[in-house]
Structure 1
Amino acid sequence: MPTTEDLKLLFAEFPRDAVSWRAQSVTKDGTKALALAYIDARDVMDRLDDVCGTENWQDRYEFHGTRTICYLSIRVGDEWITKADGAGDSDVEAEKGAISDALKRAAVKWGIGRYLYHIVSPWVPCDSYETEYQGKKKQNWKSWKEDPWSLVRSPRPAPQKQAPVAPLPPSPAMESLWKEMEAISSSRGLELFWKDNVKTILGFDDGNKKRFVDKKDELKAKFAPPPLTEGDSFPGSVSDREALRQPMAGG
């Protein structure tokens, strides 16, 4: 189970390609939109699995009118600690979207993705289309013309540019760990391996750390169950957590 020191890993930034951007508002001429950064609920759950272990965290939901409250609990030592937050219905699949938003908000209280709130949202050139309702015209976002990251002003000093550093030669212990990882034959085996070795792997140099993380992602995809086809299940036959693992729109 995670220690208070382990929980600091929840605050780590996500790879930039894991962060998506949605348009909050569009200029009257439709040339720019205010971009807000967000992560998917599945990335939140992956972070909790990696840092805490699947058996050491749990989520519970309550519904109050259009408000969904997520109670996110993590076992620290012998105690379950709970933090909660909520969200209203989203525009996409109202109930599922509210569950997703509530989970992400509760996760922020544990530090997951909190840094995204400190990003100054940029106005980004975009393509748009016009709609009209009751005589009022409105510009709607269609797609980004530029990568929003390229226009973000970081609240922290930008890192100094350095020449690319080649990965350090792997040590015998590192190679032994790599061979152990290559021999994994199940999702459960991967979960146990990562739980036991994640802190060691995160201490490797960037090149070798990436090698292990990429291998983990490869094995995770390999062991993932095939998608359900119509007739394999019925509405309501999966838990909220499993439902959230399906692709979803951000918001």
Structure 2
Amino acid sequence: MEALKAPFPLAEIRWRVGFRNSNNTRGSALAYVDARTVMERLDEVLGTDGWASEITPISSGDGFVGAKCRLTLFLEAGEVWREDFGAVPESGQEPLKSAASDAFKRAAVQFGIGRYLYELPTTWVDLDADGRMRETPELPDWALPESERTSEPEPERAPARTRRSATPRARWRD
């Protein structure tokens, strides 16, 4: 299971802009991996028959399209599963596909896949006129595979209370 938690190669990390300042010239840079990268990690560690996912569409009724993912790992000790939800505005491109991908990645994080990305320090970057990052942030060495690290090992990570928390993607209403 530790192999699931290993940092991804830098080439697999993608970035998006999170929070923005009031004049849209600076934003927080959020690192993520796409769903195919998560699938490849599961295949590498468990084999193609060592896991399964089940997606269930959910109607939130508030302008969002939602999906629930149950990710099951088939281990020697038996099956272990985790569930999570994803939601995107229904006005987006392929909203159900996006919500399903989000739910899948969120379920995978519960097994430790990519969880370290939530521990990255908040990094603010300059944005261009279109709101895109002018430069790609650098990851700290501890967030890279050993083969890609450039310096001495860093000291212990910051305590959990100072880590950046996951940004909620949507709010569900009853």
TM-score for both structures, normalised by structure 2:
0.72
Aligned residues: 141
1:27 and 1:85 mapped to 2: Cα distance? 30
Letter in 2 for 1:88: A
Inter-CA distance 15–153: structure 2 relative to 1 (3 Å threshold): closer
Report the equivalent of 1:161. Answer: 151
Letter in 2 for 1:161: S
Letter in 2 for 1:87: G
Matched, 1:64 2:58: yes
Matched, 1:44 2:38: yes
Report the equivalent of 1:125. Answer: 126
> 1:25-58 deviations in whole A, cap 9, x for unaligned?
3223332111111110000000000000001100
Matches within 5 A, 1:19-38: 19-38=13-32
Report the equivalent of 1:15. Answer: 9
Structure 1: state its 5+ residue gaps.
1-6, 130-140, 163-250
Structure 2: state its 5+ residue gaps.
60-64, 144-148, 153-168, 170-174
TM-score for both structures, normalised by structure 1:
0.51
Alpha-carbon contact 1:119-1:154 (below 8 Å) kept: no
Higher relative contact order (CA 8 A, sep 6+): 2
1:54 and 1:146 mapped to 2: Cα distance? 36
More strand by share: 2
Letter in 2 for 1:112: I
CA displacement at 1:87 relative to structure 2: 1.0
2:77 and 2:7 mapped to 1: Cα distance? 28
Alpha-carbon contact 1:120-1:154 (below 8 Å) kept: no
Report the equivalent of 2:108. Answer: 107
1:10 and 1:102 mapped to 2: Cα distance? 18
1:26 and 1:109 mapped to 2: Cα distance? 28
Task: From 136, 145, 153, give the equivalent of 2:134.
Answer: 145
Alpha-carbon contact 2:4-2:113 (below 8 Å) kept: yes
Letter in 1 for 2:151: K
> 1:50-109 deviations in whole A, cap 9, x for unaligned?
000001100001222133110000111152111111111253420000010000000001
More helix by share: 1
C-alpha root-mean-square deviation of aligned residues, in Å?
A: 2.4
